[in-house]
């Protein structure tokens, strides 16, 4: 990635009126990447956490990745920032999504390196949003995902009503078990700060392999329902 490229790509897209951002996460295979890009989603997510069944380091095509104009997000769990930066450079990533116990200082370091930083948080039965204040200056987006046995990709939704108490300025993506069965309900949510949705395991025919028909069905329910995205 050249300095100019990183400057150009630091900004993430923003949700426009009634058009939520959509990120499809956990892509592993080049042909499948092309199928998902064809459905005009806003962001693609690639998992670089070795324990995930969607671990993509060895299956992605770096030349294809660098040629994509869609925003590419690398997902990491408690990885060293030097490793994150090396992988970001290799694949031409625009943003990193941090799914572990990364600190605000680590977010700041990656942001200073020209990467847009997305910090993900697992939501359980309750959540104290004020604990995120120190992340606000360094993160372009938050992701609120369901807390579960895996760091991500658990395939279950949390109680979205908890997000009514969100009061910070950073926009966020809603994640966790979104698919054709609940896309219309998710799209109809009117919640403070909600900018879009992060889709993953409910669209899969195998870990890391998205089913284009399931994605099409989900998008067709999610997008028309979203009338109150800011
Ligand atoms: O998906 C994974 O395997 C994964 C592993 C480790 C960290 C993060 C991971 N996924 C991150 C995502 O952004 C997912 O989209 C998010 O967890 C929601 O997944 P799902 O509940 O399957 O829709």
98 in contact with ligand 1, CB cutoff 6 A: no
**Residue ranges making up the domain that contains 155:** 22-124+138-225
- Is 7 within a domain? no
Q: Encode 84-131 in three state secondary structure.
A: HHHHHHHHCCCEEEECCCCCHHHHHHHHHCCCEEEEEEEECCCCCHHH
Q: Name the band, by pLDDT with cuts 50, 70 and 90, for residue 18.
A: low
155 in contact with ligand 1, CB cutoff 6 A: yes
- Is 132 within a domain? no
Closest CA to 9 of 71, 53, 91: 71
What CATH number corresponds to the domain at position 86?
Answer: 3.20.20.70
pLDDT digits (tens, 9 = 90+) for 105-146: 999 999 999 999 999 999 999 999 999 999 999 999 999 999
CA dist., res. 191 & res. 193, Å (int): 6
3-state helix, strand, coil in the chain (%, to 5): 35, 20, 45
Q: Is 62 exposed, middle or buried (0-12, 13-18, 19+ CB in 10 A)?
A: exposed
First to last CA, the chain: 32
| Bigger pLDDT: 94 vs 10 | 94
Q: Which residue has a Cα nearest atom 14 of ligand 1?
A: 153
Q: What ipTM was estimated for this complex?
A: 0.98
Per-residue pLDDT at 40 exceeds 70: yes
Give, for ligand 1, the residue of 22, 23, 24, 26 to mutate: max count of ligand atoms closer than 8 Å to Cβ: 26
154 in contact with ligand 1, CB cutoff 6 A: yes
Cβ atoms of residues 220 and 184 within 8 Å: no
151 in contact with ligand 1, CB cutoff 6 A: yes
Cβ atoms of residues 152 and 120 within 8 Å: yes
- Is 130 within a domain? no
Q: What pLDDT does residue 9 have? A: 39
pLDDT digits (tens, 9 = 90+) for 50-72: 999 999 999 999 999 999 999 99
The domain total for the chain is 1
77-89 core/surface letters (b: 16 or more CB in 10 A; e: else): bebebeebbebbe
157 in contact with ligand 1, CB cutoff 6 A: no
Nearest atom (ligand 1) to Cα of 23: 15
Cβ atoms of residues 178 and 202 within 8 Å: yes
- Is 170 within a domain? yes
Q: Name the band, by pLDDT with cuts 50, 70 and 90, for residue 228.
A: low
- Is 17 within a domain? no
CA dist., res. 201 & res. 178, Å (int): 8
Distance 4 CA to ligand 1 centre (A): 30
CA dist., res. 209 & res. 26, Å (int): 8
CA dist., res. 205 & res. 36, Å (int): 14
- Is 116 within a domain? yes
CA dist., res. 17 & res. 102, Å (int): 32
């Amino acid at each position: 990635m050249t300095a100019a490229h990183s400057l150009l790509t630091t900004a993430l897209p923003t949700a426009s009126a009634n058009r939520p951002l959509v990120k499809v996460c956990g892509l592993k295979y080049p042909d499948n990447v092309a199928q998902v890009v064809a459905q005009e989603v806003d962001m693609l997510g690639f998992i670089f956490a070795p324990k995930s069944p969607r671990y993509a380091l060895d299956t992605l095509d770096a030349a294809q990745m660098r040629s994509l104009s869609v925003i590419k997000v690398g997902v990491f769990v408690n990885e060293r920032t030097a490793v994150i930066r090396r992988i970001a450079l290799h694949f031409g990533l625009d943003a990193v999504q941090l799914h572990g116990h990364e600190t605000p200082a680590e977010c700041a370091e990656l942001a200073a390196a020209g990467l847009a930083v997305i910090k993900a948080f697992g939501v359980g039965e309750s959540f104290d949003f004020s604990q995120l204040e120190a992340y606000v200056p360094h993160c372009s987006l938050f992701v609120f995902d369901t807390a579960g046995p895996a760091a991500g990709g658990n395939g279950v939704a949390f109680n979205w009503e908890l997000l009514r108490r969100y009061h910070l300025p950073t926009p966020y993506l809603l994640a966790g078990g979104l698919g054709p069965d609940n896309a219309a309900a998710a799209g109809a949510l009117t919640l403070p700060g909600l900018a879009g949705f992060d889709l993953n395991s409910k669209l899969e025919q195998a870990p890391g392999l998205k089913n284009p028909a399931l994605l099409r069905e989900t998008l067709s329910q999610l997008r028309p329902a979203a009338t109150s995205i800011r």
